[in-house]
Amino acid sequence: MRLDKFLAEAGLGSRSEVKKWLKDKQITVNGEVETSPKRQVISTDQIFAAQKPLKLKGLVYYLLYKPQNVITATKDQSQRTVLDLIKPSDYVKDLAPVGRLDKDTTGLLLLTNDGQLAHDLLAPKKHVAKTYWAKISGVMTKADADAFLHPLTLKNGEVTKPAHLEILAADEKEAYSEVLITITEGKYHQVKRMVASRGKKVVALKRIKMGALTLDPTLKPGEYRPLTESEIAKLKGR
């Protein structure tokens, strides 16, 4: 593997940032300063950056509290993405969000470079449940909750799978509700469209659970942490 590729994948930064490390003579390979990005290195080489040892990272799993106005993508020319929230030292090759949240939706988002797990969590036949807290303009009723237990026909004719709606609060005077909605699929803007099919509107939406993973209450919007071994095992069904 080329040295510059190794350094980038070890989390030292982008290719341009890696070149600066090399130019400034901050990289050593087996005890000797190396400035050439083309140097070929192998797994047994001892590679240091500013006297700190580097190694390629394996599979990583991050629980991110996605804030508003950040898009769920790996890169974008004009908008901030969820990967822009990840520190360069925590970044690894192929790191990507599992599924997506709308730009104005907040809450739990899993980021990983474990492609197999991402596939398993997103596969339609796996029916991985996702729970959202929502603030609604309008009063959700027992009739709405009952309707959610059956397939709903959306405005464009799409039909959803049965879901679960729990009413947390409802104020007829202020005409608003707070609810929990659990779905097992991921149609475009699904929660918003399901609520709209009942004549109400979602005004705030936050995902709080995905499968066995729950949003960490200690995280603030924009913050993230590695998953624990227990959380990873539960996600993988161990």
Catalytic residues: 102
Beta-carbon count within 10 A of 219 CB: 14
CA separation for the pair 134, 207 (Å, rounded): 9
Q: How many residues does the chain have?
A: 238
Residue 54, token pair as written in the block: 């580097």
Q: Are 190 and 105 in contact (CB under 8 A)?
A: no
Beta-carbon count within 10 A of 8 CB: 21
CA separation for the pair 189, 166 (Å, rounded): 19
Residue 114, token pair as written in the block: 């474990």
